């Protein structure tokens, strides 16, 4: 039997990576980049590094690779280049670009009409598709900017990605969902399925190596520099606390009135320090202008937000009174049953003594139990929001094995806290248990879709998103959903419809 502590690839590769070597390597990478690799990723990491050559020649073992990474910045960078993900395509996530075209950029352009300057940062730009998409959008939709001073900075920690982006050459795969006339207008086909971006667009973007874990950003950029920051589908690779600190870092280098776009599946407490805006099936964030009329003061409190539905849609401390309860939940009483429970408790007669009926006693006990659980869940949310995420996760774990075992809300909250604590496997297990206990729990299905999309399991993501659409289609559009304060049926339907289309493109 193979030693589970030693991962061997094909005999031809000769590459070996023990559990200890993997741990040492990924700790080194996290220290330098902030990027986290769990033990579940060990095989993927080993396969990507198996044929990697370094200064001293081909590494035949994990030991040699770790030694090279420790002793050579060049070797470490080559390892980082192999392990970072650069999957992207032009105009990825169309709702984001619709929001940019219709809401965000017009607001910025109006605010900057006097200075006629525009500064944009695409953080984690991969192969350049995102910043070039922004440049094309500016050219297409805002011709009056021709004589403006526009600076688009695009950064990534992967030097191979930056080199590719500077070349501006892409395969047909980078254009999925893009209109043919747009491709013909801005690209030249050099050979079958190889398209070069016109130089006029290429030179509008500055590409630079940058490490997002190098905080504070003000040391590199100064304060209040950028009108727009895009950092989409990058922070999911960081530990939760670091990702949260990066969001705060973005806020510091944005001008008042500037905007931040993060990935659909990314939500962090620091986003509550900015104003939350919703349009075009998209949540995005704005730094308020001091003294601005009608502006909402930014919250400085931590919030537990569900990824994909914005930080204003926090997990409530108590159920909303007018929320739609799932059909098979204890609170989903029929009109008749609600009417019958509104009067005095029914009684039975035993001799001359009036004794509450068994049904009434059970109902009272159930209500008291539900109230007790509401209080427990509120305390767990408060504990997690205070920063003690691991403590909250352990207590919720104990609760799922005791009085909360059959309460889908307990498993749902454990999933959210587990996700924040970096325990994604446990979070998924809790989500599946929540929807098992309550098959019509809309947010449980939605969160499963978000998590599977984040992990690249698009088939499962699409299935869960379609489940959400099916559950929502018979509900009133303006009705709030249970366990999602402020989120209506109609808004979630709009968001999920967009996710289904995006998953299909991927």
- What is the tens place of the pLDDT at every residue in 290-330? 887 655 555 545 566 788 887 765 454 444 444 444 444 44
- pLDDT band of residue 371 (cuts 50, 70, 90) is low
C-alpha distances in angstroms, 220 versus 161, 224, 225, 245, 306? 21, 12, 11, 16, 32
Crossing angle of helices 389-400/424-437, nearest 10°?
Answer: 40
Domain membership of residue 346 (yes or no) is no
Domain membership of residue 445 (yes or no) is yes
- Based on the fold, state whether residues 68 and 124 are members of the same structural domain: no
The mean predicted confidence, pLDDT, of the chain is: 84
- Based on the fold, state whether residues 315 and 281 are members of the same structural domain: no
Please give the model's pTM, rounded to 2 decimal places.
0.83
- Based on the fold, state whether residues 431 and 316 are members of the same structural domain: yes
What's the CATH number where 254 sits?
3.40.50.150
Question: 343 pLDDT exceeds 60?
Answer: no
Q: What is the pLDDT of residue 226?
A: 97
Is the distance from CB of 266 to CB of 294 less than 8 angstroms? Answer: no
- Based on the fold, state whether residues 388 and 496 are members of the same structural domain: yes
Domain membership of residue 328 (yes or no) is no
Question: 124 pLDDT exceeds 90?
Answer: yes
Burial 149-187 (b: 16+ CB within 10 A, else e): ebbbbbbbbbebbbebbeebbbeeebbeebeeeebeebb
Q: What is the DSSP string of 316-347?
A: PSS--TT-B--TTSTT---HHHHHHHSSSPPE
User: Dihedrals φ, ψ of 155, to 5°?
Assistant: -125, 155
- Based on the fold, state whether residues 73 and 166 are members of the same structural domain: no
What's the CATH number where 430 sits?
1.25.40.10
- Based on the fold, state whether residues 59 and 138 are members of the same structural domain: no
Q: What is the pLDDT of residue 15?
A: 74
Q: What is the pLDDT of residue 435?
A: 97
Looking at the chain, the whole-number percentage of residues with pLDDT higher than 90 is 62
| Residue 63 CB partners (closer than 8 Å, separation 6+) | 21
Domain membership of residue 345 (yes or no) is no
- Based on the fold, state whether residues 384 and 486 are members of the same structural domain: yes
Domain boundary residue among 83, 103, 138? 83
What's the CATH number where 75 sits?
1.10.155
Domain membership of residue 359 (yes or no) is no
- Based on the fold, state whether residues 233 and 311 are members of the same structural domain: no
Q: Is the pLDDT higher at 63 or at 401? A: 401
Highest mean pLDDT: which range of 14-23, 86-95, 161-170, 351-360: 161-170
Neighbours of 332 (CB within 10 A): 14
Q: What is the pLDDT of residue 11?
A: 40
User: Dihedrals φ, ψ of 253, to 5°?
Assistant: -105, 10
Q: What is the pLDDT of residue 308?
A: 81
Among 106-120, 345-359, 392-406, 478-492, where is mean pLDDT lowest? 345-359
Domain membership of residue 292 (yes or no) is no
Q: What is the pLDDT of residue 202?
A: 96
Domain boundary residue among 37, 63, 83? 83
Domain membership of residue 279 (yes or no) is yes
Average pLDDT over residues 439-450: 95
Q: What is the pLDDT of residue 484?
A: 73
* Residue whose token pair is 């009926």: 357
Is the distance from CB of 62 to CB of 14 less than 8 angstroms? Answer: no
| Number of domains within the chain | 3
Closest CA to 113 of 227, 263, 241, 266: 227
- Based on the fold, state whether residues 99 and 154 are members of the same structural domain: yes
Strand pairing report for 205-209 and 149-156: parallel
- Based on the fold, state whether residues 28 and 134 are members of the same structural domain: no
- What is the tens place of the pLDDT at every residue in 138-161? 999 999 999 999 999 999 999 999
Question: 342 pLDDT exceeds 90?
Answer: no
SS3 371: helix
Q: What is the pLDDT of residue 13?
A: 53
Q: What is the pLDDT of residue 238?
A: 93
Q: Is the pLDDT higher at 39 or at 218? A: 218
Domain ranges, residue 34? 6-83
Domain membership of residue 344 (yes or no) is no
- pLDDT band of residue 51 (cuts 50, 70, 90) is confident
Q: How many residues belong to the chain?
A: 506
Domain boundary residue among 83, 118, 148? 83
- pLDDT band of residue 14 (cuts 50, 70, 90) is low
Closest CA to 126 of 98, 154, 101: 154
> What is the Cα–Cα distance from 268 to 244, expressed in whole angstroms?
6
- Based on the fold, state whether residues 427 and 490 are members of the same structural domain: yes
What stretch of H or E contains 162?
helix 159-167
- Based on the fold, state whether residues 172 and 282 are members of the same structural domain: yes
């Amino acid at each position: 039997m193979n030693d589970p502590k030693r991962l061997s690839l094909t005999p031809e590769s000769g590459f070996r990576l023990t559990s200890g070597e993997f741990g040492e390597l990924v700790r080194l990478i996290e220290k330098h980049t902030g990027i986290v690799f769990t033990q579940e990723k060990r095989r993927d990491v080993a396969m990507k590094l198996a044929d990697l050559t370094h200064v001293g020649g081909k590494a035949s073992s994990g030991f040699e690779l770790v030694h090279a990474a420790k002793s050579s910045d060049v070797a470490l960078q080559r390892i980082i280049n192999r392990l970072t993900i650069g999957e992207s395509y032009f105009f990825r996530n169309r709702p984001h670009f619709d929001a940019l075209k219709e809401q965000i950029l017009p607001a910025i352009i109006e605010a900057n009409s006097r200075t006629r300057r525009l500064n944009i940062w695409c953080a984690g730009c991969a192969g350049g598709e995102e910043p070039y998409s922004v440049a094309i959008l500016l050219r297409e939709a805002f011709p009056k900017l021709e004589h403006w001073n526009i600076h688009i900075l695009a950064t990534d920690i992967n030097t191979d990605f930056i080199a590719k982006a500077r070349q501006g050459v892409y395969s047909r795969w980078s254009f999925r969902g893009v209109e043919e006339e747009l491709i013909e207008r801005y690209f030249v086909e050099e050979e079958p399925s190889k398209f070069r971006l016109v130089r006029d667009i290429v030179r509008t973007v500055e590409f630079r190596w940058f490490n997002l874990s190098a905080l504070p950003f003000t040391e590199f950029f100064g304060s209040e520099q950028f009108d727009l920051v895009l950092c989409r589908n990058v922070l999911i690779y960081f530990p939760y606390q670091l990702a949260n600190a990066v969001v705060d870092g973005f806020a510091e280098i944005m001008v008042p009135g500037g905007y931040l776009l993060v990935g659909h599946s990314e939500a962090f407490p620091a986003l509550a320090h900015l104003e939350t805006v919703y349009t075009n099936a998209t949540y995005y964030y704005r730094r308020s202008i001091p003294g601005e009329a009608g502006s909402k003061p930014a919250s400085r409190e931590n919030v537990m937000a569900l990824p994909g539905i914005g930080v204003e849609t926090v997990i409530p401390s108590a159920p909303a009174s007018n929320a739609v309860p799932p059909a098979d939940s204890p609170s989903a009483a029929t009109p008749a049953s609600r009417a019958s429970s509104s009067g005095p408790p029914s009684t039975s007669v035993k001799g001359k003594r009036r004794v509450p009926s068994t049904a009434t006693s059970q109902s009272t006990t159930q209500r008291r139990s539900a109230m007790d659980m509401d209080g427990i869940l509120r305390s767990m949310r408060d504990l997690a929001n205070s920063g003690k995420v691991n403590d909250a996760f352990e207590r919720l774990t104990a609760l799922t094995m005791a009085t909360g075992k059959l309460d889908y809300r307990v498993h749902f909250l454990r999933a959210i806290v587990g996700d924040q604590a970096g325990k994604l496997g446990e979070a998924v297990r809790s989500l599946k248990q929540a929807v098992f206990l309550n098959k019509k729990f809309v947010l449980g299905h939605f969160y499963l879709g978000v998590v599977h999309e984040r992990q690249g399991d698009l088939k499962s993501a699409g299935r869960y998103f379609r489940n959400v659409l099916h559950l929502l289609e018979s509900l009133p559009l303006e009705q709030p959903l249970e366990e999602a304060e402020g989120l209506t049926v109609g808004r979630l339907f709009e968001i999920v419809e967009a996710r289904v289309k995006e998953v299909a493109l991927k």
